[in-house]
Structure 1
Amino acid sequence: MSIHHIVLKYRLHILFSVLGFTLLFLNHSNNNNNNVAISSSDKLLPTQTALRNVKEPIDTETDRAIFWHIPKSGGTTLKWYYGCLGLVIANEVSVSNGHDTDESLQVWEHANGFKYVNADTTGLNGIDRAKSLGLGESGLADVMFTMFPHQISELLFPSGSKYKGRFFTMIRHPIERSASMFYYRRVAKHENENVYLPHLKNIDLATYLKRGGGDRNFMVSLLVNKLGGQVLTVEDLNTAKDMLRTKFLVGLTSKFEESVERFDHYFGYDRNGISTECKESLYPGKNRYGIP
């Protein structure tokens, strides 16, 4: 039985994701970077004012690049790639080697040769610490990685600040992402107990979905800041679509190489002329788990 048939049979709760993001992808396929439709909605979330529109020219003095890391969608590969380019990164590695107790911001070099600023923006506690250290206005991070677009926008770029976040992300089809996450959680011993679920080895994907596993509008919930199982509405879906269309530079894992090229061109990341060398060293499948 194919994944699509499984999902239909057990009615995986991803209606918002599939419908909304399919429409979004169709929109992006008909627009280049300089012709992105701007939402006509006047019901913006407060954090949307902290973000640049993707159509606006980049201001290197005040704009801060933030990658919204959606699990199992290529983000781990991009962390390696940007490290290879020599960019200064803010992610979970940033506070390793004792740097979680630093009292001021600094850029340090890991044994792998990559550069990090000592603030972890991937989680909520780390974002709070990054705010207290002044990461948003410092300009020390070339790329910040996070799973929480609302919180990082609100805390690092408060109302009235001249500094603004500029988001980009890599999106995977929600059905494929849910299935990939299922197989990953079976074997990811290095992850915490909320992610590594070895008991999943005893069931198949169909059973997992029947029991309520899978992607329950994960992306929409984060974009509109409705966490903890709050009920989502069609208005929430439309708000999420507007945010992605106007505030995010979107790449697709199904077109990974083209998406990386798009990001590099948009942000001017290939400063040292080594992107080709770094791309040749990429292993896009090293953190993927096959879907039968």
Structure 2
Amino acid sequence: MSEHRRSFINWGVSEEGEESDSQAEEKIEEDDGIPVRYGYPSKIKEKKKMAIDPDGATMQAKGGERVLMKVSAFRQSLSKKRAASGALLIGVIGMAACVLPGSTPTRYIPDQMKKTSSAFDYHDGANYGYNETTFDVGNSEQSGKYNLQLDEPMISGGITIPPYIDATFVDTFQPSDDGGFELTPFLATSGEYPFFWRVPNVGSRIENMLVSCVKAVLATSAFRDDERGAENALRVYNIEDRAYVNVDLSQTFGIERASDLNLADSGLADVFVSPHFNYVAHKLLSSPQHKGRMFTVFRHPIERAIVSHSDFIKKHQADSRLAQMSLAEFAQSDYSSKDWLTRFLVNKRRERVTWEDVQKAKEILRKKFLIGLYDRVEESMERIERYFGWFKNGPLERECHQNLIAAERAHDTEDYMYEVGQEGSIDIGSEVYGLMLKNNEKDMEVYWYAVGLFEEQGKLFPPLSW
């Protein structure tokens, strides 16, 4: 056991992973630089076997919900035989479809899918090495340039990313046969889980598209304040045609409950969603059978800070003092987060983050994350859906995406107009911009590096479908 000790906070968090006022620091011993609390278990817990119902499915509807079924070994064997027969029949039909004329599916090309931009629209990337040029949808050669390479490590001199992150999460790209790079193929049957790192004031918007348009079953924070989130068994509940596992991954005690109930082995969730990927790595994906594939969507840090203030005002209307807090006052208060991205990437919640931490954060993004951008959300969602095999270029899916994006852009405009009305100016060079920039000095470096990664990763994807 190392003699080194380090302060860690009590991991109570509020919505979107923001730090709560009640958090208290505590001393936790480390072993080889990894907190004991988050270390790998000495023995892998015996995992529950996936039960199969008589029809070969893993879940069965009961009263509007889906639950795991426990059946006898004989019936499981019978189900597997039926499933194998069904797979053979599907294979024969599929081969026939390939040779029949007219079997090629028609491709839906939407005529109204257009790039939308945020009302805030900050262009300050040149200060961080990102040279912005005219953006042209579908032509990455004319978009910005950061002068980086995917194989260019961002850390040196003995600095490394945490070993448990390297072991738990799969690299986004790998060397290709032609000497270049390619996306690491995602194999849904290999025990890998898509993991969406939820960033405040952007994550919930992407969640809506995943659960509504992709129709993915999410293990997220839907049952944060719901008694179903404390049940002693995992279930999938359908809430307004949206499917969620009854867990809360926004808080560490919720992650611990999900671990105790063997969420990863249950197979109930299509996607894990949490701001705490470090803790999820230790508690939910610590066994060799399961690994994670991380993806996220970034939003400009100043824009996120402004939206945080707007949300803060809306949530505290009952308190006249807080409801009247200006953006400048908010930026200088303890309610405003400081360098959230960098802190959560390198797992430093209370300690001072350094420029060395910034480089470490960049390296984690480079190796482990599929990057999306909020101000290019249409393109980002298509990449995410293609990467995980969810992409369906049909009219219903496109309309679903467009409707949700349009609604969020309307909220963005509302927030922007409110802040402009209160402050007069929130543009680059204004007083409030400077205050928020001070709070997000290191996050700005991380964000614009992520924008550069987005450009580089785009070269590994086929052209946009719209």
Tell me by how many angstroms 1:198 deviates.
5.7
Structure-2 separation of matches of 1:38 and 1:138: 38
Over 3 Å counting, the alpha-carbon distance change for 1:154 and 1:286 in structure 2 is farther
- Please name the residue that 1:278 is paired with: 400
Contact 1:171–1:251 (CA<8 Å) still a contact in 2? yes
Q: Residue deviations 1:92-116, cap 9 Å, x none?
A: 2246764223222222212x01111
Give the counterpart of 2:343 among 221, 244, 253: 221
| Residue 137 (1) aligns with residue 265 (2) | yes
CA RMSD after TM alignment: 3.0
Instruction: State the SS of the aligned residue for 1:93.
Output: coil
Distance 1:272 1:117, change over 3 A: farther
Do structure 1's residue 69 and structure 2's residue 198 form an aligned pair? Answer: yes
Match of 1:235 among 342, 356, 380: 356
Q: Which amino acid is the alignment partner of residue 108 of structure 1? A: Y
Counterpart among 191, 195, 210 of residue 82 in structure 1: 210
Letter of the structure 2 residue corresponding to residue 37 of structure 1:
D
The residue that corresponds to 1:209 in the other structure is 331
Give CA deviations for 1:246-280 in whole Å, capped at 9, x if unaligned: 11111111111111111111112236954213113
Once the two structures are TM-superposed, the CA of residue 287 in structure 1 deviates from its matched residue by 5.1
Q: Does 1:53 align with 2:171?
A: yes
Say if 1:185 and 1:198, in contact at 8 Å, map to a contact too.
no
Name the amino acid aligned to 1:216: K
Instruction: Return closer, same or farther for 1:65/1:197 CA change in 2, 3 Å cut-off.
Output: farther
Trace 1:238-253 onto structure 2 (pairs within 5 A): 238-253=359-374
Q: 2:274 & 2:131 partners in 1: Cα distance?
A: 22
Between Structure 1 and Structure 2, how many residues are aligned? 261
Q: What's the secondary structure of 1:285's corresponding residue?
A: helix
AA of the residue aligned to 1:187: K
Q: Is the 8 A contact 2:130 2:145 kept in 1?
A: no
In structure 2, distance between residues paired with 1:197 and 1:251:
36
Query: Does structure 2 conserve the Cα–Cα contact (< 8 Å) formed by 1:185 and 1:197?
Result: no
Amino acid at match of 1:262: R
Alignment of 1:29-40 (within 5 A): 36-37=150-151, 39=153
Equivalent in the alignment of 1:43: 160
- Residue pair 1:36, 1:54 contacting (<8 A) in 2 also: no
Q: In the aligned structure 1, how far is the partner of 2:291 from the partner of 2:186?
A: 10
SS at match of 1:176: helix
SS in 2 for 1:269: coil
User: What are the Cα deviations for residues 65-113 of structure 1, in whole angstroms up to 9, with x where unaligned?
Assistant: 111111112x222222122132101122246764223222222212x01
Among residues 222, 226, 231, which one is paired with 1:93 in the alignment?
A: 222
Q: TM-score, normalised by structure 2?
A: 0.51
Q: How many Å separate the matches in 2 of 1:38 and 1:136?
A: 33
| Unmatched segments (≥5 aa) in structure 2 | 1-123, 133-142, 174-183, 421-466
Within the alignment, does 1:267 sit opposite 2:384 as a pair?
A: no
The structure with the largest alpha-carbon Rg is 2
CA contact (8 A) 2:345 2:364 kept: yes
| Whole-angstrom CA distance in 2 between matches of 1:86 and 1:232 | 38
2:307 is matched by which residue type in structure 1?
A: S
Q: Which has the higher contact order (CA 8 A, sep 6+)?
A: 1
The 1:267/1:54 distance shift into structure 2, 3 A limit, reads: same
Deviation at 1:25, TM superposition (A): 10
Cα drift, residue 243 of structure 1:
0.7
Q: How does 1:92-241 map to 2 (within 5 A)?
A: 92-94=221-223, 98-110=227-239, 112-158=240-286, 161-188=288-315, 199-211=321-333, 214-227=336-349, 229-241=350-362
In structure 2, the residue corresponding to 1:122 is in which secondary structure? coil
For residues 143 and 23 of structure 1, what CA distance do their matches in structure 2 show?
34
| In 1: Cα distance, 2:319 partner to 2:356 partner | 34
- Unaligned stretches of 5+ in structure 1? 1-17, 191-195
Q: Distance in 1 between matches of 2:152 and 2:264?
A: 25
For residues 23 and 60 of structure 1, do their structure 2 counterparts lie closer, same or farther at Cα, with a shift above 3 Å needed?
farther
What is the CA–CA distance in structure 1 between the aligned matches of 2:251 and 2:131, rounded to whole Å?
28
Contact 1:88 1:117 in 2 (8 A): yes
| Aligned AA (1:181) | S
Q: Taking structure 1 as reference, are residues 276 and 235 closer, same or farther at Cα in structure 2, changes over 3 Å only? A: same
**C-alpha displacement at 1:197, in angstroms?**
7.2
Inter-CA distance 22–131: structure 2 relative to 1 (3 Å threshold): farther
Q: Distance in 2 between matches of 1:270 and 1:199?
A: 47
Give 1:40 shift. 7.0
Relative to structure 1, is the Cα distance of residues 98 and 230 closer, same or farther in structure 2, using a 3 angstrom cutoff?
same
d(CA) in 2 for partners of 1:251 and 1:57? Answer: 18
CA deviation vs aligned residue, 1:6-45 (integer Å, no higher than 9, x gap) = xxxxxxxxxxxx99x956999x9669xxx84364756121
Q: 1:40 to 1:147 in 2, by over 3 A?
A: closer
Which of 351, 374, 378 is residue 257 of structure 1 equivalent to?
378
